[in-house]
């Protein structure tokens, strides 16, 4: 049996993470999808348009719990490569971005639940779009990128930046990097 490798794809909004996750999934890899849209849509159904903007700590707690559940769910017997569309540390990276204090347990949970690889998608203006859940400007995406990089590095991760290119090229790049460490 191949040892399980947990791989995070992170980056600012609109950098192509989810598109690459879908490509990896189409190639037969196990992928855990981003849950922030689910949290946002659930809040909307309950009457809150942008939960992250109105109650950022509640939103972040919901994300932290959801991402931790994803992390542990996948530990229940899957082997091989497992890809995550965003990781647990993304939660406090965003809290740092908005300048809001958060409980110490955020860092504790991030340190207790470690990934094997972290791939960072850089902001790429040519593919950046906004929508009802992605409201950040491109300049804000650049700032978020910097917070994500600093957060993962502060947790002693070696962060690999994924070059721009087609979905196939970017996906192949990620798989090639992982293959060099087998």
CATH number at residue 48: 3.40.50.300
Local structure of residue 173 (DSSP, 8 states):
H
In this prediction, residue 119 carries a pLDDT of 98
Q: How far apart, in whole angstroms, are the C-alpha atoms of residue 98 and residue 77?
A: 37
In this prediction, residue 130 carries a pLDDT of 58
Residue that has been written with the tokens 């899957």 in this structure? 78
In this prediction, residue 131 carries a pLDDT of 55
- 3 state SS of 9: strand
Model's pTM, two decimal places? 0.88
Q: Which domain holds residue 114?
A: 5-179
Question: For the chain, how many structural domains are there in total?
Answer: 1
Residue ranges of the chain with pLDDT lower than 50? 1
In this prediction, residue 75 carries a pLDDT of 62
**Backbone conformation region of residue 165, classed left if phi is above 0, alpha if psi is from -120 to 50, else beta:** left
* Residue among 109, 110, 124 nearest 157 (CA): 110
In this prediction, residue 171 carries a pLDDT of 97
Phi, psi (degrees; rounded to nearest 5) at 93: -60, -40
């Amino acid at each position: 049996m191949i040892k399980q490798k947990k791989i995070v794809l992170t980056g600012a909004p609109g950098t192509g993470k989810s598109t690459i996750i879908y490509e990896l999934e189409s190639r037969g890899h196990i992928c855990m999808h981003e849950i922030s849209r689910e949290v946002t849509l659930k809040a909307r159904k309950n009457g809150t348009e942008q939960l992250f903007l109105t109650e950022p700590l509640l939103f972040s707690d919901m994300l932290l719990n959801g991402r931790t559940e994803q992390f542990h769910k996948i530990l229940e017997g899957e082997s091989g490569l497992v890809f995550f569309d965003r990781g647990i540390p993304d939660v406090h990276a965003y809290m740092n971005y908005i300048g809001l204090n958060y409980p110490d347990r955020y860092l504790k949970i991030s340190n207790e639940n470690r990934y094997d690889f972290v791939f960072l998608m850089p902001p790429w203006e040519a593919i950046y779009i906004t929508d009802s859940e992605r409201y950040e400007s491109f300049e804000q995406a650049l700032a978020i990128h910097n917070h994500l990089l600093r957060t993962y590095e502060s947790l002693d991760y070696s962060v690999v930046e994924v070059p721009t290119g087609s979905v196939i090229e970017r996906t192949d790049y990620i798989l090639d990097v992982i293959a060099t460490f087998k």
